[in-house]
Structure 1
Amino acid sequence: MVFILRVSHGKVFSTDAEKLKTPKRGDPVSVSTLHHDYEKSRFELYENGVMAGFLQYDTGRDTLFLKHTFIIPAHRGHGLAFALIERVLDDMHRRRLSIQPECPIVAEFLRTHQQYLGLVVTGRAATGRHLPAHEHRTA
């Protein structure tokens, strides 16, 4: 799954028509893509073909446990962490999956973007965690 984001003067805009802004002439523009790496259990954000960060998760039955958001230092300060989280949550909504935010940055995002709170599962419904594929052990 790939989403295109455009960054202009440090502001991130998605490809959604209502959010996409046309940059002014001379504005620096970079293209960001979101890649779901199933083997590493993470969503990776690439900016102009270079990894800018990722959101690590564990899986449950119908729930993703969002563990850790990381933006590479050279890419920080441009709103990419929130842009990454927003794209992941939009994908979870489309796929009708729930989330359990364990990452403080995801929790902060949810406090300011309450339209995503319907994705959050708590208590018993959040049980049933599975180990990521790379952590499965054989006897």
Structure 2
Amino acid sequence: MKKKLILRKTHFLFKPKLTKKKHMLTTTNFVGFKLMKTVCFTSKEEDYLKLTILKIFKKLTLIYRPKIFFYFHKIYSHTKLPLEARMGKGKGEITNNFGYYQKGIILFSITKLTLLEAYKFQIYFNKKNILKVKITK
């Protein structure tokens, strides 16, 4: 049974968390990529980022297909009131969802990847200014 994404209105407050759930890899045969900066992605940007990662891996690895695990989660919702709304009319309608990712969180991990290929991937990502990532093993 699939879980249904429930759109609900939340306030745009980020609480600083001392414990991060996704800052270490749990298994040894994965290569993870940590964020170097705090970023905020909308749902369209996350989909575009997934597509670019998959395209890059098709170019870099021709012999085998590694499995890629993404740790994206769109928790927060962006709301907007109409232009002519007065005060006291509520928060408004939900326009899109977004995720807030702090520095040091592993954004995605890959199986069956050598360290040389991982360094190539890191250099390619940092040169194109898509994301600033570093490798964790």
TM score, norm. by length of structure 2: 0.26
Of Structure 1 and Structure 2, the greater strand share is in 1
Larger RCO: 1 or 2 (CA < 8 Å, sep 6+): 2
Higher Cα Rg: structure 1 or 2? 2
Of Structure 1 and Structure 2, the greater helix share is in 1
